[in-house]
Amino acid sequence: MVMAGNTVSILEAVVLGFVQGASEFLPISSTAHLRVVPAFLHWPDPGVAYSAVIQLGSVIAVLTYFFKDLLGIASGALKALQEKNYDSKDLRMLGAILVGTLPICVLGLALKPILESDSSPLRSLPVIGGASIFMGLLLLLAEKFAKRSRSIDDVSGKDGFLVGLGQAMALIPGCSRSGSTLTMALFLNYKRDEAARFSFLLGIPAIVLSGLLELKDMVKQGLSGDGMSSLIVGLLVSTIVSYAAIWWMLKFLGTHSTWVFVVYRLIFGAAIIALSMSGMIQ
């Protein structure tokens, strides 16, 4: 697949699709891993566009997994509006998702020229490593001090906006969309699995918009036969692995803490910085 001067082979598409699917819904940053794994394997950086498009596999997975939830929220919100029941949990959830999507849309458009550049300093390995460590420490604080007493049924527009601010932090590679939203939801005292569910639901609009915009630009530029094959393979692998990751994450957080992700992020970030400074990866 030809994009931004880099060629993505079928093998690379399989690996990148797996990395995207495994890391999108875990609080470890899919963007960081899509940047670091190719660097570690001495492959070309697949670029912002390819990374955004294979996120559509994660979108398909999350829409499939939460289809009944989304249908219930939509129908419940509509019924609540008709009955003027503005305290309905479905209407509050819909409002929280919409309000929570605003920060990343506004900042994403404002920073679009910087974020879409494959040579952006934000995609440098030291920045990614530093962001991973910083968010790992924030998750540690949330894990240590949060009360974890709230259910997703308690969601409000204020919660949506605050978690949405956390989601906007994920514009910096290494922060992690699911990680930043999960961390903010924990700070708001949501139970771990409820925080993860809220994180996944709130992230749907942003991931959909990001992937569709990049896909539109790619279609305009044109794709070769090999390019389309690589894209399809990446999407397919990403979809399957993403679905498995969502299922596992919700089940895991129902009975476990997030300490394993804190430790992973700290080690991952430190390793990236060390390998980058030593010149072993670029």
Q: How far apart are CA 216 and CA 223, in angstroms?
A: 11
HSE (CB half, 13 Å, CA atoms) of 170?
31
Percent of all residues in the chain with a pLDDT value above 90, rounded to a whole number? 64
How much is the mean pLDDT over the chain?
Answer: 88
Q: What is the mean pLDDT of residues 85-99?
A: 95
Q: What integer is the mean pLDDT of 200-214?
A: 84
Tell me what pLDDT residue 55 has.
83
- Is pLDDT above 70 for 118? no
Q: Among 7-16, 218-227, 255-264, where is mean pLDDT lowest?
A: 218-227
In this structure, of 162-166, 196-200, 206-210, 224-228, the range with the lowest mean pLDDT score is 224-228
CA 245 to each of CA 30, 61, 92, 126: distance values in angstroms, whole numbers, following the listed order: 12, 9, 27, 27
Three-state secondary structure call for residue 2: strand
| Predicted pLDDT at 9 | 86
Contacts of 160 (CB under 8 A, 6+ apart): 95, 96, 97, 98, 99, 100, 202
Domain range for 117 is: 2-278
Range scoring the smallest mean pLDDT among 83-92, 114-123, 126-135: 114-123
Q: Note the helical H segments in the chain.
A: 10-24, 30-40, 47-65, 67-82, 89-110, 112-115, 125-145, 157-168, 177-187, 192-221, 225-253, 259-278
Judge whether residue 92 has pLDDT over 60: yes
Total domains in the chain come to: 1
Taking the C-alpha atoms of residue 109 and residue 55, their distance in angstroms, rounded to an integer, is 18
Q: How far apart are CA 227 and CA 106, in angstroms?
A: 31
Q: Which residues contact 104 (CB under 8 A, 6 or more apart)?
A: 164, 167, 168, 170, 171, 206
Residues of the chain above pLDDT 70, percent: 90
- Cα torsion 176, 217, 107, 271 to 10°: value is 30
- pLDDT value, residue 211: 72
What single letter denotes the amino acid at residue 205? P
What is the reported pTM?
0.89
| Cα distances (Å, whole numbers) of residue 225 to 27, 55, 93, 137 | 35, 21, 42, 44
Quick check: 39 pLDDT over 50? yes
Q: Other C-beta atoms within 10 Å of 87: how many?
A: 7
